[in-house]
Amino acid sequence: MSEGIGKKTVRDIDVAGKRVLVRADLNVPLDDGQVGDDTRIRESLPTIEHLIGKGAKVIVCSHLGRPKGVDPALSLAPVAGRMSNLLGREVLFAEDCVGPVATAAVEAMNGHVLLLENLRFHPEEEKNDPAFAAQLASLADVFVNDAFGAAHRAHASTEGVTHYLPAVAGFLMEKEVRYLSALVANPPKPFAAVVGGAKVSTKIPAIEHLLPKIDLLLVGGGMANTFLKATGVDVQMSLVEDEQVAAAKEILARAKAAGIEVHLPVDVIAASKFAEDAEALERPVNEIPRGYMVLDIGPRTVKEYAAALGRAKAVVWNGPMGVFEMEKFSHGSFDLARAIANLDATTVVGGGETAAVVAQAGLQDRFTHVSTGGGASLEMLEGRELPGVAALLDA
């Protein structure tokens, strides 16, 4: 049995000669019909290779993007090609994920791996339609969920199929759940949460769940403006969620009462417009020019945050520190990523944008764990049970 997640994994089942349906997260960026970044494909390979090695017929399914019905631009066909190259063996492609086309493709496998077409070409997938789930399940004898990035959704391919097939976790799912749940349940101390991104509203449940467990809270990104406004700072034209100012005040008060060290930006990079060619000004937070907006944390803030994190034994980071997609407003995120990468601590990154910062900085290998699932990792930090995990067989 597998330690750590309370669910059976691919190690716990005999798959020799069986057809195994693997739900992977192959939601990769496509560039002119070519795979732009194959990280998610690579992350799915250990489970697929393990199953091949144990003599299983491996049938892989995934979603890609948010199609409204069949959309050739969001076909998984290019993914099959890239997966073939990475696996070093042919990956067959079925032009549908259910019905006669899929059934015929499974029957023709003969030692190959098969990738089914985009699940979301069928609206029944996201509706968790039982008939659609039964059709998908009919292709296999066993189900392996390795799509942590979709585990917070009760869809036909994550929850529905578990009513028809014995269901276990793949290696990526196991790794993701183990790191995030262990960190939240029993973190090494001092434990720091670094929270950024545009909106406070999406992060408040996670902050509230983490508050009793953390020793330091560091806030950046657009959401820091709402916290700064809660302390009386005039953030001028910056993005602020006015309806969340009271919630930010409440969090600051609770943190103070609990003796939690809170760090808000002391200086910022501001601009007169949200654009790459805007003039970027470095200013203390209480001297933001009239009509300007905050688009990044400043160098003094980075230095202060890095010094505070130097004491931490565990850090969870969710959300960038500024508009990292624009070079002028990316330094806060990248400099902080380098500072966290250099810590002698357990360092976990949750969330798609934060993972993108770490990847662009070439620092993936310097973090203890970089989560592949944005929404799923945030829900785990909120202490919520993920439907795609709950549906798996208990260990």
Report the distance separating Cα 223 and Cα 244, nearest Å: 10
Tokens for 128? 């968790």
Residue 372 pairs with which residues in a beta bridge? none
Between 171-185 and 39-53, two packed helices, what is the crossing angle to 10 degrees?
A: 120
**Category of 4 on φ-ψ map: left (φ > 0), alpha (ψ -120 to 50) or beta:** left
Name the active-site residue from 7, 19, 23, 40.
40
DSSP per-residue string spanning 209-268: HHTTT-SEEEE-STHHHHHHHHTT---TTS---GGGHHHHHHHHHHHHHTT-EEE--SEE
Distance, CA of 116 to CA of 60 (rounded, Å): 6
Which residue of the set 4, 6, 81, 352 is catalytic? 352
Q: What is the DSSP letter of 7?
A: B
User: CB-based contacts of 291: which residues, under 8 Å, 6+ apart?
Assistant: 236, 237, 272
- Spatial CB neighbours of 344, under 8 Å, sequence gap ≥ 6: none
**Could you tell me where the DSSP H helices lie in 111-195?**
130-137, 171-185
Q: Which of 54, 82, 89, 199 is catalytic?
A: 199
Give me the residue label for tokens 């609206």.
Answer: 123
Reported as type and span, the H/E element at residue 293 is strand 293-297
352: annotated active-site residue:
yes
Give the C-alpha separation, 269 to 328, whole Å: 9
Half-sphere exposure of 298 (CA within 13 A, CB side): 19
199 an active-site residue?
yes
In angstroms, rounded to a whole number, what is the distance separating the alpha carbons of residues 27 and 35? Answer: 10
Considering 178, 375, 383, 384, which one is annotated as catalytic? 375
371, 348 contact by CB (below 8 A): yes
Active site positions, annotated? 40, 199, 352, 375
